[in-house]
Amino acid sequence: MSDKIPLAGVIGTPIAHSKSPQLHRHWLKTLGLKGDYIPMDVAAQDLEVVLRTLPKAGFVGVNITIPHKEAALEIADLVTDRAILIGAANTLIFRKDGQIHADNTDGYGFIENLKAGAPDWNPTAGPATVLGAGGAARAVLASLLDAGVPEILLTNRTRVRAEKLADDFGKKVSVVDWVQAGNVLEDSALVVNTTSLGMIGKPAMRVPLDGLRAGTIVTDLVYAPLKTDLLAAAEAAGCVAVDGLGMLLHQAVPAFERWFGHRPVVDSATRAAALR
């Protein structure tokens, strides 16, 4: 048995807002494991040297967040298929042989959160509308198609970005003009906001939401505030509303298990710890 305390952490810039340290520390404490999880503010030009040095200081892996997710994928020596598909890494495992293994668990976290918040969700029930075509949208698209969603209507303020994403994911994804976004909600079994609209400090969501109908599942990746205006409108329309915090919690599960050897559970205490 090694006396070394296993360390993990999250690298981004800025990083002070991250909820991951309190989440992983909660799991370490409740599972009675030794270890720690450290937030690290690292500039782009220092990323590679930091990643190559951390294993020598006892780190078993790190999470990667904005703006380093694409660069981390480039630096890694081994990459999972899902990270390649998404084009970004959010989880790195430092192997004993010195190699850096990159994965992306955002899509997994998204689907697990959806299943937990909407247990009756049937992926094949009908089209999904996805608002936004940034980094998070790639993970959402990959995981929805993998889950068996037959058709995705993708809409983004900058249309060309949505078109690029649709090209990458094939015929099941079609682009809808941003000004038409409100018109496709009515026919959607699932609506996902992957834009930053509605987040504290960001502009409000202005897409007309009167097309939402009872029974539609609506989920928002934004979790600050927990109940966004989109989710409030969804509840008022009789939809099943699923907040975005669970995605953050679920995406952390596989990483924690790889680093610390125990699979944590996502429960109400986990949510409370992340919100502290």
* Of positions 23, 102, 136, 231, contacts ligand NAP by CB under 6 A: 136
Segment contacting ligand NAP by CB under 6 A, of 119-127, 209-217, 219-227, 255-263: 219-227
Q: Looking at residues 77 to 116 of the shown chain, list those that interact with ligand NAP (rule: CB under 6 A).
A: 106, 109
* Interaction between residue 173 and ligand NAP (CB under 6 A): no
* Interaction between residue 13 and ligand NAP (CB under 6 A): no
- When the beta carbons of 55 and 117 are compared against ligand NAP, the nearer one is 117
* Interaction between residue 260 and ligand NAP (CB under 6 A): no
* Interaction between residue 154 and ligand NAP (CB under 6 A): no
* Interaction between residue 134 and ligand NAP (CB under 6 A): yes
Helix H, strand E, coil C: the string for 156-169 is ECCHHHHHHHHHHH
- When the beta carbons of 8 and 55 are compared against ligand NAP, the nearer one is 8
Task: Indicate the DSSP class of residue 64.
Answer: E
Q: By the 8 A CB rule, do 63 and 20 touch?
A: yes
* Of positions 156, 188, 228, 270, contacts ligand NAP by CB under 6 A: 156
Count other C-beta atoms under 10 Å from residue 61's C-beta. 23
Quick one: tokens of 144? 């929805």
The span from the CA of 243 to the CA of 241, in Å, is 7
* Interaction between residue 227 and ligand NAP (CB under 6 A): no
Minimum Å gap between C-beta 45 and ligand NAP is 21
Q: Torsion angle of alpha carbons 239, 245, 248, 251, nearest 10°?
A: -50
Q: By the 8 A CB rule, do 96 and 259 touch?
A: no
Dihedral sign for Cα 155, 160, 163, 164, please.
negative
- When the beta carbons of 49 and 226 are compared against ligand NAP, the nearer one is 226
The span from the CA of 39 to the CA of 62, in Å, is 9
Q: Which of 4, 29, 34, 69 is catalytic?
A: 69
Q: Looking at residues 18 to 47 of the shown chain, list those that interact with ligand NAP (rule: CB under 6 A).
A: none
Minimum Å gap between C-beta 29 and ligand NAP is 22
Residues linked to residue 176 through DSSP beta bridges, in sequence order: 155
Helix, strand, coil percent content, the chain, rounded in steps of 5: 45, 20, 40
**Phi and psi angles of residue 91, each rounded to the nearest 5 degrees, phi first:** -140, 130
* Of positions 21, 132, 211, 264, contacts ligand NAP by CB under 6 A: 132
Minimum Å gap between C-beta 132 and ligand NAP is 3
Q: Which of 176, 190, 215 is nearest to 127 (CA)?
A: 190
**Phi and psi angles of residue 24, each rounded to the nearest 5 degrees, phi first:** -65, -35
Give how many residues touch ligand NAP by CB under 6 A.
26
Is 19 one of the annotated active-site residues of the chain?
A: no
- When the beta carbons of 55 and 253 are compared against ligand NAP, the nearer one is 253
* Interaction between residue 161 and ligand NAP (CB under 6 A): yes
The span from the CA of 81 to the CA of 137, in Å, is 17
User: Which residues contact ligand NAP (rule: CB under 6 A)?
Assistant: 66, 106, 109, 132-137, 156-158, 161, 194-197, 199, 203, 221-223, 244, 247-248, 251
Catalytic residues: 69
